């Protein structure tokens, strides 16, 4: 977080302009938490007593977007100079509000504009309930957020059970914040989550998936998954993992044996499948969501993983990515015995790097020999893209020129020529045409 962070500068600027116009204005929520932790906030939210109309008038209709005007939320567009790569420093300005009763376990029936203190109390966790004045460098804390931030505790604001029943997604958010910030869950908050975990299913699949994604791509994904299991959320969201979760035991026995140097073997009992899965998750290096999900699902049949992805309403491309990784994970094991053509076809695939990563962490977690993975990694490193996936030497047009009718034989013939090319048996179009003639004559 540099002093001249343009996103932050703009978020300060928005506060200054609101205050200059006579309104109260404060940074609010997650950005205060991250700022106080010395981390760069993903985005800045401003809370104010300015009403949506005031905000639009002050910043101009064209520089603002009324995304949630009924909730009092207006987006103020960042300077265009930062529009590169979608990294525009938009700031959300929300009117201080309090929320009416929650009727469906997801959202409030109504909202009403109110005071900063009431706005703090409607928020989910104390660490997310603070305000900060970036001009006067002052924290406004009605909920004990600073103390919990210092102690590293995720604690619901008010009665945890009541807050979790208002919006059941907060259960998953509690786990995500505890994991990603490397905090502990406050005991009463954790107990409320454990008791109410089955109710997470009233939340839409999209919102659940979004939380899962954020947990799985984060460096602390292992802890996130462990906490979600401990809270009873994982078995509800992903019941297909139940058999795997049952291998977890209480997690203490293996460690005790290891410490005392159990007799025989290499001194410790084999890890449970669940322990191995956790280890795999931990070993991943900056995975995308599909790779992390495939790692969590690596023991499931690909079709079961597909059903999970569908239920979570993932994008088709993401679903196919996860399923492809699971489908292919065995194919790397005998890479050294595969023909160059077979290996090149596999490795030319857009998702092959993820496949190598998946098999690498699985091999490491199982304590198996890495040589098959290293072979593939070396092959990838030593094979330039144009050798991995060279332009074809012949096409369907050549088959038509040879007098063939388009049909199912086309594919077989072209693939045979392609194999010869990838295996390095032929290098020119003439050679390819000769192979084709041979194949046609032989048929």
What residues line the site for Mg ion (CB under 5 A)? Answer: 30
Biggest CA-to-CA distance, the chain: 88
Kindly write down the DSSP assignment for every residue of 281-319, as one continuous string: HHH--S--HHHHHHHHTTTS-HHHHHHHHHHTT--HHHH
Helices (H), 21-159: 30-36, 52-59, 116-121, 145-151
- We find the least distance from the C-beta atom of residue 129 to ligand ATP, in angstroms, to be 6
- We find the least distance from the C-beta atom of residue 177 to ligand ATP, in angstroms, to be 7
Q: Among residues 35 and 274, whose Cβ is nearest to Mg ion? A: 35
140 touching ligand ATP, by CB under 6 A:
no
- We find the least distance from the C-beta atom of residue 239 to ligand ATP, in angstroms, to be 24
* 232 interacts with, out of Mg ion, ligand ATP, none, CB within 5 to 8 A per kind: none
Interacting residue with ligand ATP among 7, 14, 25, 29 (CB under 6 A)? 29
Binding piece for ligand ATP, criterion CB under 6 A, among 122-130, 298-306, 371-379, 384-392:
122-130
Is the CB of residue 133 less than 8 Å from the CB of residue 104?
no
Using alpha carbons, list the distances in angstroms from residue 220 to 52, 148, 216, 282: 38, 20, 8, 8
* 128 interacts with, out of ligand ATP, Mg ion, none, CB within 5 to 8 A per kind: ligand ATP
Helix axes of 340-347 and 371-382: crossing angle, nearest 10 degrees: 80
123 touching ligand ATP, by CB under 6 A:
yes
- We find the least distance from the C-beta atom of residue 418 to ligand ATP, in angstroms, to be 47
- Cα–Cα distance between 393 and 171 in angstroms, integer? 57
- We find the least distance from the C-beta atom of residue 195 to ligand ATP, in angstroms, to be 18
CA 365 to the chain's CA centroid = 22
Binding piece for ligand ATP, criterion CB under 6 A, among 19-27, 120-128, 244-252, 338-346:
120-128
- We find the least distance from the C-beta atom of residue 40 to Mg ion, in angstroms, to be 12
Kindly write down the DSSP assignment for every residue of 197-261, as one continuous string: GGGGGGS-HHHHHHHHHHHHHSTTHHHHHHHHHHTTHHHHH-GGGHHHHGGGTTS-HHHHHHHTT
- Cα–Cα distance between 322 and 72 in angstroms, integer? 39
77 touching ligand ATP, by CB under 6 A:
no
Is the CB of residue 170 less than 8 Å from the CB of residue 186?
no
128 touching ligand ATP, by CB under 6 A:
yes
Binding piece for ligand ATP, criterion CB under 6 A, among 79-87, 124-132, 258-266, 282-290:
124-132
143-182 footprint of ligand ATP as x/- string (CB under 6 A): ------------------------x-xx------------
319 touching ligand ATP, by CB under 6 A:
no
Q: Among residues 88 and 342, whose Cβ is nearest to ligand ATP? A: 88
45 touching ligand ATP, by CB under 6 A:
yes
Q: Among residues 173 and 344, whose Cβ is nearest to ligand ATP? A: 173
Burial of residue 91 (CB within 10 Å: 0-12, 13-18, 19+) is: buried
- Cα–Cα distance between 238 and 233 in angstroms, integer? 8
* 123 interacts with, out of ligand ATP, Mg ion, none, CB within 5 to 8 A per kind: ligand ATP
Structure tokens at 223: 């802890």
The Cβ of residue 263 has, within 10 Å, a number of other Cβ atoms equal to 7
Footprint of ligand ATP (CB under 6 A): 29-30, 42, 45, 123-124, 128-129, 167, 169-170
């Amino acid at each position: 977080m540099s002093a001249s962070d343009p996103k932050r500068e703009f978020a300060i600027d928005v506060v200054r302009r609101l205050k200059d116009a006579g309104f109260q204005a404060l940074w609010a929520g997650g950005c205060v938490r991250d700022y106080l932790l010395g981390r760069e906030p993903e985005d800045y939210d401003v809370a104010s007593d300015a009403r949506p109309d005031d905000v639009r008038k002050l910043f101009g209709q064209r520089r603002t977007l009324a995304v949630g005007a009924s909730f009092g939320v207006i987006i103020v567009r960042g300077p265009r100079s930062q529009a590169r790569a979608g990294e525009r420093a938009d700031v959300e300005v929300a009117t201080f509000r309090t929320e009416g009763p929650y009727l469906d376990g997801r959202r409030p029936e109504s909202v009403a504009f109110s005071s900063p203190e009431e706005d703090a109390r409607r928020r989910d966790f104390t660490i997310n309930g603070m305000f900060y004045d970036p001009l006067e460098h002052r924290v406004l804390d009605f909920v004990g957020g600073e103390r919990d931030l210092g102690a590293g505790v995720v604690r619901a604001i008010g009665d945890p059970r009541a807050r979790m029943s208002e919006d059941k997604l907060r259960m998953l958010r509690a786990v995500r914040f505890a994991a990603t910030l490397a905090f502990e869950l406050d005991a009463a908050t954790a107990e409320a989550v454990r008791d109410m975990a089955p109710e997470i299913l009233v939340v839409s699949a999209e919102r659940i998936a979004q939380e899962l994604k954020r947990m799985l791509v984060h460096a602390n994904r292992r802890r996130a998954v462990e906490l979600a299991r401990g809270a009873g959320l994982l078995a509800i969201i992903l019941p297909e993992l139940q058999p795997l979760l049952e291998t977890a035991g209480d997690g203490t026995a293996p460690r005790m044996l290891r410490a005392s140097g159990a007799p025989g073997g290499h001194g410790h009992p084999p890890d449970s499948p669940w322990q191995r899965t956790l280890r795999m998750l931990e070993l991943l290096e900056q995975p995308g969501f599909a790779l992390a999900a495939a790692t969590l699902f690596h023991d499931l049949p690909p079709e079961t993983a597909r059903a999970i992805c569908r239920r979570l309403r993932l994008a088709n491309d993401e679903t196919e990515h996860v399923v492809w990784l699971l489908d292919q994970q065995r194919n790397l094991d005998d890479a050294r015995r595969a023909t160059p053509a077979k290996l090149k076809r596999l490795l030319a695939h857009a998702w092959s790097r993820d496949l190598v990563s998946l098999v690498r962490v699985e091999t490491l977690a199982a304590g198996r020999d890495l040589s098959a993975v290293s072979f593939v990694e070396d092959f990838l490193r030593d094979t330039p893209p144009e050798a991995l996936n060279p332009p074809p030497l012949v096409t369907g047009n050549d088959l038509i020129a040879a007098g063939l009718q388009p049909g199912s034989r086309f594919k077989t013939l072209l693939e045979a020529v392609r194999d010869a090319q990838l295996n390095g048996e032929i290098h020119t179009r003439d050679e390819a045409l000769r192979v084709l003639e041979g194949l046609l004559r032989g048929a």
